[in-house]
A and B are shown apart, each in its own frame.
Chain A
Amino acid sequence: AQKVTQAQTEISVVEKEDVTLDCVYETRDTTYYLFWYKQPPSGELVFLIRRNSFDEQNEISGRYSWNFQKSTSSFNFTITASQVVDSAVYFCALRDTSGTYKYIFGTGTRLKVLA
């Protein structure tokens, strides 16, 4: 069965600090997709990044970076020089490709960036 674990329930940092959000996943599939979504206080869910299981290159987008390591089944998300606007709940998700195509989400990490 697929599973996504986000062990950090809540993280608080001071503005300009770097912060890493952890995501560990379990799947028997050899082909799968991993995602990060952001849920700001307004409540909508915003897509941040998608990574497939064959692409282990790390990705950087501005202050955001993602580290995908198949050896440890992890897909961690780092925010560099955090800002108050980064305060949100962040979800990691895994997409099954074995036939059901369903998406399984972790429990989320609430990030509070203090001014």
Chain B
Amino acid sequence: NAGVTQTPKFQVLKTGQSMTLQCAQDMNHEYMSWYRQDPGMGLRLIHYSVGAGITDQGEVPNGYNVSRSTTEDFPLRLLSAAPSQTSVYFCASSYAGRNSGANVLTFGAGSRLTVL
């Protein structure tokens, strides 16, 4: 009963370094997404996916890449980290479907990233 698992929980990077935040879910959810949380800004959608091989941009996609090769995994890549990407990142998943009643987002525990 793992739900949504994010790794790592904490990470410190230097400007220009690259890294990947991992996200995995075991609920067979079609929809997966990444949010960043900054003080006063709420949860802002970075990228999302409605199934394997399908990804799309959210509100703040610049500087981030994603891929969805399997239903279970949705990694978020920072190609060249910048201090503006210092944030708490949340992965979340749910069932998709237009009128799906079972569409509550389940969140991971979050990953705190600091870029120096």
A37 to B42 alpha-carbon distance, docked (Å): 12
A93 to B42 alpha-carbon distance, docked (Å): 10
Chain A contact residues, CB within 8 Å of chain B: 6, 9, 31, 33, 35, 37, 43-45, 47, 50, 52, 91, 93, 95, 97, 99-108
Closest residue of A by beta carbon distance from B41 = A107
Q: How far apart are A27's CB and chain B's nearest CB, in angstroms?
A: 14
A9 to B41 alpha-carbon distance, docked (Å): 10
Q: How far apart are A8's CB and chain B's nearest CB, in angstroms?
A: 12
A100 to B98 alpha-carbon distance, docked (Å): 9
Interface residues on B, range: 20 to 34
- Interface pairs (28), CB distance under 8 Å: A35-B104, A35-B105, A44-B109, A44-B110, A47-B106, A52-B101, A91-B42, A91-B43, A93-B43, A95-B103, A97-B98, A97-B99, A99-B98, A100-B56, A101-B31, A101-B48, A101-B96, A101-B97, A101-B98, A102-B45, A102-B58, A104-B45, A104-B59, A105-B35, A105-B42, A105-B44, A107-B42, A108-B42
Closest residue of B by beta carbon distance from A102 = B48
Using A100-B56, A103-B45 as known contacts, say yes or no to A43 and B103 having CB atoms under 8 A apart: no
A33 to B103 alpha-carbon distance, docked (Å): 9
Closest residue of B by beta carbon distance from A48 = B104
> Does B53 make an interface contact (CB < 8 A)?
no
For B74, the chain A residues whose CB sits under 8 A away are: none
A52 to B101 alpha-carbon distance, docked (Å): 9
For B35, the chain A residues whose CB sits under 8 A away are: 105
A45 to B35 alpha-carbon distance, docked (Å): 12
For A31, the chain B residues whose CB sits under 8 A away are: 98-99
Q: How far apart are B82's CB and chain A's nearest CB, in angstroms?
A: 22
A22 to B99 alpha-carbon distance, docked (Å): 25
